[in-house]
Amino acid sequence: MTTQDYERIKKQSLNMLQSMNIVLTDKEKEDFEVADFGLNNLDKTGLQLITYINTDNVCAKDLVLLPNQTCPEHKHPRRAFDDGKEETFRCRYGKVFLYVEGLESTNRAAQPPHGDEEYYTVFNEVILNPGEQYTIFPNTLHWFQASSSGAVVSEFSTRSTDEEDIFTDPRINRIPKAN
Least Å distance, CB 29 to a second copy, is 9
Name which of 12 and 54 has its Cβ closer to a second copy. Answer: 54
Cβ neighbors of 122 (< 8 A, separation 6 or more) are 73, 99, 100, 101, 102, 141, 142, 143
**Do residues 120 and 101 lie in contact, with contact meaning Cβ atoms separated by under 8 Å?**
no
Does residue 21 touch a second copy according to CB under 8 A? yes
Q: 3: which residues sit within 8 A by CB, 6+ positions away? A: none
Which one, 27 or 114, has the nearer CB to a second copy?
A: 27
- Cβ 158 to a second copy shortest distance, Å: 5
Task: Decide: helix, strand or coil at residue 10.
Answer: helix
| Site membership for a second copy, residue 131 (CB under 8 A) | yes
Task: Return the number of the residue (58 or 171) whose C-beta is nearest a second copy.
Answer: 58
Q: Cα 129–131–135 angle (5° rounding)?
A: 85
DSSP state of 119: G
Find the shortest distance in angstroms from Cβ 145 to a second copy: 20
Judged by CB under 8 A, the chain residues 30 through 89 that form the site for a second copy are 52-53, 55, 57-60, 86, 88
At its nearest, how many Å lie between a second copy and the CB of residue 68? 22
164 contacts a second copy (rule: CB under 8 A)? no
Q: Are 65 and 145 in contact (CB under 8 A)?
A: yes
Quickly count helices (H) and strands (E) in the chain: 2, 9
Contacting a second copy (CB under 8 A), which of 15, 18, 25, 111?
A: 25
Binding positions for a second copy, rule: CB under 8 A: 20-25, 28, 52-53, 55, 57-60, 86, 88, 90, 92-93, 130-133, 135, 154, 156-158
